[in-house]
Structure 1
Amino acid sequence: MTRDGTGMPSLIGRFPDPGPWKHPEPRPLELTSPLGLEALPSQRFTKVKRSTFGLNLMVVGESGLGKTTFMNTLFNTDLREEILPRNPQTTQTVKVQPSYYELVEEGVVLNLCVVDTPGFGDELNREHNLTPIMEYIDKQYEEYMAAERHPGFRKAIPDTRIHAVLYFIAPTGHGLKELDAKALKTLSKKVNVIPIIAKADTMTVEEKQSFKSILLRDLEDHSIKTFPSSYAEDVDGAEELLQHIPFSVIGSDSFTLVGDKKVRCRTYRWGVVEVENAEHSDFVYLRELLMSTCLHDLVETTHNVHYHQHRGDALRLMGRPVSILECDETYDTQIEGTKLKNKQEMERREEEIRQMFVLKVKEKEVALREREEHLSAKKAEMVAELEQYRAMIEAEQREVDELVTLTRSGTLSKSSSKLFKAK
């Protein structure tokens, strides 16, 4: 390691100075005796457990799909219900209503924010139903970005960004509606979207499987990203949950005894549908995804993917170019990408030059072949002409030889003599 003119360390290698936000590659060493490093994770765990966790969920879907009841079921409590208009058509605009709760379990505190969107999909003209929802999501990003630019940004920033959107789909069995497809495609570009089939007890097992297949096909056709399927590389331990997407769920505030156990269920004349029975719905898998497996991943994906994308777009709109500073997190990736792009461009240009050279050689070969054929034809013509002249000369030579022979023999007749003179 050397030092530059400013006294900062400068590495000699593939990439020079790593910058103030990165450290040089450490040199591995062997310990001569234990240091107690195995206690570090437990120290981290104790400190993290004392911290307060946050989860911000937005609930989107048409009225009458049991969203409020489902949220009560999901968190095993009674969340405050907002009084909605009895006639959905009288709702003039979509409202965005955040509600804040504190849940405590075995010393772990969860600050829960549930953002309801009453009026979504209830109007006859649904063209602008998404506008207030997207404005709310963008506003949370802007407020977080403004807090980062504040002088005290190194303190904990209250995170009001939406970590996941639970999008409820009506159990029609006919695929995505136009409003659902548009909403899911727009939302998936900004937040983590989890599609949910509401009121799963209205469908048979075969109908649910068929409907899921149709929805998966529609999601793929519309290039809609869903969580965690589209972020599988960034999410650990959710492989088994992917097969249940989209989740078909049931919500209920009622309890009944099934055997010796008190369970949430919906009771009908023909039987009981248990909410937390995996054979009746995917509710347990959705709760496991949100609370046990991917809560931290939801927050990280929101920050590292969606928020960074929003922040980058906002900075570029203000005129800031794409940075390739060595201290950037994406520096190595951009350098490698540029090198790969240049290599591909050089290979393309080399291939073009090679193809052009081959074409020129072929054209020259054709021209030489045509010239050779022309010369061969001309040679054959001249040879034929020479043969004709040779034949004429040989004929005249024979006549001369005959005349000489006759002259020497003295038998040249008068007529022949005259003929000879005439010639």
Structure 2
Amino acid sequence: MPLEFAHQHSGQFPDPGPWKHPQPRPLELAAPLGLDALPTQRFAKVKRTSFGLNLMVVGESGLGKTTFMNTLFNTDLKEEIRPRNPQSTQTVTIQPSHYELEEDGVVLKLCIVDTPGFSDELNREHNLTPIVAYIDKQFEDYMSAERHPGVRRSIPDTRIHAVLYFIAPNGHGLKELDVKALKTLSQKVNVIPIIAKADSLTAEEKVLFKNIIAQELEDYAVRTFPSSYPEEIDGAEDLLQYIPFSVIGSDSVASIAGKEVRCRTYRWGVVEVENPEHSDFIYLREMLMSTCLHDLVETTHSIHYHRHRGDALRAAGRPVSILECDDTYESQIEGTKQNNKKEMEEREEAIRLMFVQKVQEKEADLRQREEQLVAKRAEMIAELEQYRARVEAEQKEVDELATTLSRSGTLSKSSSRLFKSK
């Protein structure tokens, strides 16, 4: 009986896989339940919870990184971020600084990790070592917290969500250290390339330099955020055209057209930080704060941390793990979907070819029948012409005979009249 039941219901209740729920059955409500208030409840709860954003600032000294961060968050961070002089820097150091920003009841816990000393040494071979070590340590700390008995509590997230990599506006492209750093960091974190001090370039030079950097990023296969994560990012399509962002930072505020704006004043004019004709600052801020802040956190967890955790588990001698089991199931599902899609496409192509072949055969048959009908019509027309010619000939003979008879009858009447008169 169980075997018969299994055969009868085979395929009706597929295995949803590990930690998966079966496909729910949609229902229609007979009356309102108030489900439309759920987003409002979630919004109120989320608003009471603080958000976290961890940024790492990487770039050589003298590019205005501190000034730019002050400009980006509309506050003064110089007291906390205090890079050392290049002369006193012997190696790259890591300086995390923590802040709390509040706007309209929403709290953002901001951590800015500065990397003074980067690219300042003559021998830059090991400049990336402390940076990569710090990023990996945050992954390890988060992984250790997940194993802790109190894992059900929220885990403090110190993982780097984005690296703002500042590129010198030299006009010639990426340096060797830039290429190495970008390729290495893009495999571990979300990297956002930034051209610093955009006011040092003319409009034509800026466009040319951005094109050079964009081409080199593509040639060296550097994964940048958000262009390298199209499936995870929504609503940032219009911002992709500005990568790499050319920006300006300034602590000075001036009144222009009756409005207080951040700007840099020169003898030849004023460069406005938030003017899109002068820099891409507003687009970078929009991406970081308005469009992709949640996506930065999500991609850090689901992509970069997920990869680090998988590598750590495999290195620990656990090739068959929960993570890999989930990966295997997902890959099987994805593989099945791809195979089904390919099979359906092949079937569709076969049906299309069969349909085309049937249509061609039908057209050839109709064409042949049409030719036969045309030949038959021509033959019947020719036969009809022959009958018509024969009828016309016979009609002509009849007319001639009638004429002959008519003349003969007239002569006979004339002869009888002549005989009677005599």
Scaled by the length of structure 2, the TM-score of the pair is 0.75
Residue 229 to residue 336, structure 1, CA distance change in 2 (3 Å): closer
Q: Secondary structure at the match of 1:234?
A: coil
The residue that corresponds to 1:348 in the other structure is none
Of 101, 107, 110 in structure 2, the residue corresponding to residue 109 of structure 1 is 107
Does the Cα contact within 8 Å between 1:89 and 1:124 map onto a contact in 2? no
- Which string of whole-angstrom CA distances, capped at 9 and with x for unpartnered residues, describes residues 116-139 of structure 1? 000000000000000000000000
Alignment pair present for 1:13 and 2:11: yes
Does the Cα contact within 8 Å between 1:101 and 1:112 map onto a contact in 2? yes
The residue that corresponds to 1:353 in the other structure is none
Alignment pair present for 1:302 and 2:300: yes
The residue that corresponds to 1:256 in the other structure is 254
Aligned-residue offset at 1:16: 4.3
Aligned-residue offset at 1:337: 2.5
Alignment pair present for 1:30 and 2:28: yes
Aligned-residue offset at 1:36: 1.3
- Which string of whole-angstrom CA distances, capped at 9 and with x for unpartnered residues, describes residues 379-413 of structure 1? xxxxxxxxxxxxxxxxxxxxxxxxxxxxxxxxxxx
Aligned-residue offset at 1:59: 0.1
1:14 & 1:306 partners in 2: Cα distance?
37
Residue 18 to residue 275, structure 1, CA distance change in 2 (3 Å): same
Alignment pair present for 1:242 and 2:237: no
The residue that corresponds to 1:136 in the other structure is 134
Residue 37 to residue 342, structure 1, CA distance change in 2 (3 Å): closer
The residue that corresponds to 2:291 in the other structure is 293
- Which string of whole-angstrom CA distances, capped at 9 and with x for unpartnered residues, describes residues 297-319 of structure 1? 00000000000000000000011
Aligned-residue offset at 1:38: 1.0
Does the Cα contact within 8 Å between 2:17 and 2:329 map onto a contact in 1? no
Q: Secondary structure at the match of 1:306?
A: helix
The residue that corresponds to 1:100 in the other structure is 98
**Superposition map of 1:57-136 within 5 A:** 57-79=55-77, 80-86=79-85, 88-136=86-134
Residue 90 to residue 12, structure 1, CA distance change in 2 (3 Å): farther
Superposition RMSD in Å: 2.3
> Aligned residues, how many?
334
- Which string of whole-angstrom CA distances, capped at 9 and with x for unpartnered residues, describes residues 176-228 of structure 1? 10000000000000000000000000001111110011001100111000000
- Which string of whole-angstrom CA distances, capped at 9 and with x for unpartnered residues, describes residues 159-178 of structure 1? 00000000000001111100
**Superposition map of 1:269-348 within 5 A:** 269-322=267-320, 328=326, 331-337=329-335
**Superposition map of 1:107-186 within 5 A:** 107-186=105-184
Q: Secondary structure at the match of 1:114?
A: strand
Aligned-residue offset at 1:84: 3.8
Residue 341 to residue 126, structure 1, CA distance change in 2 (3 Å): farther
Q: Secondary structure at the match of 2:44?
A: helix
Does the Cα contact within 8 Å between 1:324 and 1:334 map onto a contact in 2? no
Does the Cα contact within 8 Å between 2:310 and 2:323 map onto a contact in 1? no
2:323 & 2:59 partners in 1: Cα distance?
43
Residue 309 to residue 62, structure 1, CA distance change in 2 (3 Å): same
- Which string of whole-angstrom CA distances, capped at 9 and with x for unpartnered residues, describes residues 96-129 of structure 1? 0000000000100000000000000000000000
The residue that corresponds to 1:410 in the other structure is none
1:58 & 1:317 partners in 2: Cα distance?
27
Residue 342 to residue 37, structure 1, CA distance change in 2 (3 Å): closer
Does the Cα contact within 8 Å between 1:265 and 1:273 map onto a contact in 2? yes
1:121 & 1:54 partners in 2: Cα distance?
29
Unaligned ranges ≥5, structure 1: 3-10, 345-423
Aligned-residue offset at 1:30: 1.2
Letter in 2 for 1:236: D
Aligned-residue offset at 1:33: 1.1
2:148 & 2:45 partners in 1: Cα distance?
26
1:24 & 1:211 partners in 2: Cα distance?
52
Does the Cα contact within 8 Å between 2:81 and 2:97 map onto a contact in 1? no
Residue 14 to residue 150, structure 1, CA distance change in 2 (3 Å): farther
Residue 204 to residue 42, structure 1, CA distance change in 2 (3 Å): same
The residue that corresponds to 2:205 in the other structure is 207
Unaligned ranges ≥5, structure 2: 3-8, 343-422
Q: Secondary structure at the match of 1:266?
A: strand
The residue that corresponds to 1:397 in the other structure is none
